[in-house]
């Protein structure tokens, strides 16, 4: 069991597969979580409060810990491990000392910051929810204070997860978000019976604790020994701080996007913030599975290529990953757009989540889908810069994207309500992507041109054929199932999606799409390997 939990993944495809597989489980649990929340509370005041209470704790976690990890910690940590000569990989005392120093510094910082922000929540919350009624604001303040427990757990967990990524141990790192969602589901199903809506906040804190605890043993097995080191003048620590400041500002821009949405949604009809978040969670499914998984898996390899001054290898890794993400996310976007109503009704349509909520959420999801390609590729583009120790460029482009979102949201929300928020957000993400991609091409000569246009052409043709088949089958199946029942809607959507995937695969083969052929070949190799393992076990018995 320990061999499975601590398995090392040297192959990019294998690493991405593990991250994606567990990511799918985590995202599916996220859908279960959202279905429970929608069924119990509906798209109304209580869910608005719940999502609004997330904003400030999430802001702290994302800008501090994710900023340190993605921008500075992993490249510096990997560099220390690789540069130590005469020792086995992972026995570097300097690397472990850096981890101990960061653990102690961040633990103290997070405790002080979260306590301080919890105390001043009565002044902060009204600033981001000016449209909430007085009672709604008071409830948001109380939930926000409870949720400030989670950044402390998630912050420390993020550092341990960074170590596991550096050692290419992706299993437990990818399992942590699964347990995080399990904790939230436990809160929604059981704790709400005793504590009401406060049970949701307690579930978030419980899930964050599980996120941390599952990763700690594996880091100790890699050779980590805890020491009390607290050195603010450490050279490696200062390097990370220098690299993470622009990254923090960039992440702050992303988090401010969500605060902007909260600000405008608070003045709309009750449930508007819930509708935005529920549809945003659904569109995040492919972003996390495809964009996030590949970007996480490829980041150490990109950092190593840059450290080795191997520009050709850097570009090759980037091009392959870019095309793989496009191969998955474009057809997925088409499926989501065409089957959005079926998906929303199946995933969220229960209890107090009515048909009006379904229509608004489905339309919001459809708008999000037009920027899925951009949102899925942004993690890869950003990490291409971080691997080159450039955190300023992603910050500048994300800040511009935030400004575009603020202006467009202000314009569109007056005309389209909550749908205007989704439209402004989507356009801003496309602007952000274009800017970052163009700047990367300027910085790295020849990048972004190795067959990407041809790959895009082939996957687009296959996706359009798939979309036509899905639309036809959706209409055709509507005459054979009861569209007033859960099973009928599920059957209609599943049959249409299956037919579309078959069509996509056939067209992809006819066009000799490289990513499809590589995916099938890799799947066959894994299946053959499993067969050989089973045969070996059988022979031993």
- The whole-number average pLDDT for the span 181-196 is 89
pLDDT at 3 over 70: no
CB distance 246 to 34 below 8 Å: no
Beta-carbon contacts of residue 229 (< 8 Å; ≥ 6 apart): 97, 100, 101, 104
- Angstrom distance (rounded) from CA 227 to CA 350: 51
* Out of 136-145, 243-252, 483-492, least confident range: 243-252
Residues 291-326: tens digit of each pLDDT? 877 887 788 788 888 878 888 888 888 888 899 899
* Out of 43-52, 104-113, 135-144, 334-343, least confident range: 43-52
**If pLDDT is split at 50, 70 and 90, which confidence band does 537 have?**
very low
Q: Is 251 exposed, middle or buried (0-12, 13-18, 19+ CB in 10 A)?
A: buried
State residue 523's pLDDT score. Answer: 59
With residue 247 as reference, give the H or E element that holds it.
helix 235-265
- Angstrom distance (rounded) from CA 54 to CA 248: 18
State residue 88's pLDDT score. Answer: 47
**Per the structure block, which two tokens stand in for 14?**
């294998």
Q: CB 520: neighbour CB atoms within 10 A? A: 13
- Which sign does the torsion angle of CA 220, 224, 228, 229 carry? negative
Residue 28 φ then ψ, to 5°? -65, -40
- The whole-number average pLDDT for the span 13-22 is 71
pTM of structure: 0.73
Residues 403-424: tens digit of each pLDDT? 999 899 999 988 888 899 999 9
pLDDT more than 90, % of the chain: 28
Q: Which of 206-220, 270-284, 479-493 has the highest mean pLDDT?
A: 206-220
Q: Which of 140-144, 169-173, 314-318, 393-397 has the highest mean pLDDT?
A: 140-144
In angstroms, the Cα distances linking 452 to 291, 444, 448, 455, 512 are 16, 16, 7, 5, 14
pLDDT at 456 over 70: yes
pLDDT at 126 over 80: yes
Cite the DSSP H helix spans in 148-234: 150-166, 171-186, 192-195, 198-213, 216-221
Residues 371-401: tens digit of each pLDDT? 999 999 998 998 898 888 787 888 889 889 8
CB distance 108 to 122 below 8 Å: no
- Angstrom distance (rounded) from CA 138 to CA 272: 19
**If pLDDT is split at 50, 70 and 90, which confidence band does 86 have?**
very low
State residue 367's pLDDT score. Answer: 93
Residue 122 φ then ψ, to 5°? -60, -25
**Per the structure block, which two tokens stand in for 283?**
């569109």
Mean pLDDT score of the chain = 83
- The whole-number average pLDDT for the span 61-71 is 63
pLDDT at 16 over 70: no
State residue 310's pLDDT score. Answer: 84
Rg (CA), the chain: 23
Beta-carbon contacts of residue 122 (< 8 Å; ≥ 6 apart): 141
Biggest CA pair distance of the chain: 71
**Per the structure block, which two tokens stand in for 517?**
């052929």
């Amino acid at each position: 069991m320990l061999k499975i939990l601590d398995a090392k993944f040297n192959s990019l495809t294998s690493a991405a597969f593990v991250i994606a597989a567990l990511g799918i489980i985590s995202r599916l649990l996220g859908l279960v979580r959202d279905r429970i929340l929608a069924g119990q509370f509906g798209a109304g005041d209580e869910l608005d409060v719940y999502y609004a209470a997330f904003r400030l704790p999430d802001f702290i976690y994302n800008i501090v810990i994710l900023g340190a990890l993605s921008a500075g910690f992993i490249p510096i940590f990997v560099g220390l491990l690789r540069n130590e000569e005469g020792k086995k990989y992972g026995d570097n005392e300097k690397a472990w000392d850096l981890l101990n120093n960061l653990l102690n510094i961040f633990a103290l910082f997070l405790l002080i910051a979260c306590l301080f922000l919890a105390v001043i929540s009565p002044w902060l919350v009204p600033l981001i929810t000016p449209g909430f009624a007085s009672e709604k604001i008071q409830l948001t303040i109380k939930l926000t204070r409870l949720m400030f427990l989670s950044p402390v757990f998630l912050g420390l967990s993020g550092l341990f997860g960074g170590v596991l990524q550096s050692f290419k141990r992706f299993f437990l790192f990818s399992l942590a978000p699964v347990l995080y969602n399990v904790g939230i589901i436990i809160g929604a199903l059981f704790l709400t019976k005793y504590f009401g809506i406060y049970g949701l906040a307690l579930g978030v804190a419980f899930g964050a604790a599980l996120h941390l605890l599952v990763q700690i043993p594996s880091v100790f097995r890699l050779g980590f020994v805890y020491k009390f080191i607290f050195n603010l003048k450490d050279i490696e620590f200062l390097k990370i701080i220098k690299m993470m400041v622009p990254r923090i500002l960039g992440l702050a821009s992303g988090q401010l996007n969500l605060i902007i949405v909260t600000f405008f949604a608070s003045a709309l009809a009750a449930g508007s913030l819930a509708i935005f978040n529920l549809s945003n969670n659904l569109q995040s499914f492919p972003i996390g599975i495809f964009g996030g998984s590949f970007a996480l898996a490829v980041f150490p390899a990109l950092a190593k290529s840059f450290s080795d001054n191997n520009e050709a290898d850097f570009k090759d890794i980037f091009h392959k990953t870019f095309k793989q993400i496009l191969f998955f996310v474009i057809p997925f976007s088409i499926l989501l757009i065409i089957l959005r109503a079926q998906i929303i009704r199946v995933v969220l349509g229960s209890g107090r989540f009515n048909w009006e909520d379904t229509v608004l959420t489905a339309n919001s999801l459809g708008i999000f889908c037009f920027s899925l390609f951009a949102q899925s590729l942004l993690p890869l583009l950003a990490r291409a810069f971080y691997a080159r120790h450039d955190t300023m460029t992603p910050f500048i482009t994300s800040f511009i994207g935030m400004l575009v979102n603020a202006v467009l949201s202000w314009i569109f929300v007056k005309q389209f309500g909550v749908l205007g928020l989704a439209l402004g957000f989507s356009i801003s993400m496309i602007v952000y992507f274009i800017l970052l991609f163009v700047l990367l091409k300027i910085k790295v000569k020849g990048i972004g041109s190795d067959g990407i246009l041809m790959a895009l052409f082939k996957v687009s043709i296959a996706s359009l054929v798939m979309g036509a088949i899905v639309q036809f089958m959706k209409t055709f199946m509507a005459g054979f199932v009861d569209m007033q029942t859960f099973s009928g809607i599920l059957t209609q959507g599943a049959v249409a999606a299956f037919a579309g995937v078959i069509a996509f695969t056939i067209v992809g083969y006819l066009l000799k799409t490289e990513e499809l052929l590589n995916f099938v070949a890799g799947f066959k190799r894994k299946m053959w390997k499993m067969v050989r393992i089973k045969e070996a076990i059988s022979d031993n018995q």
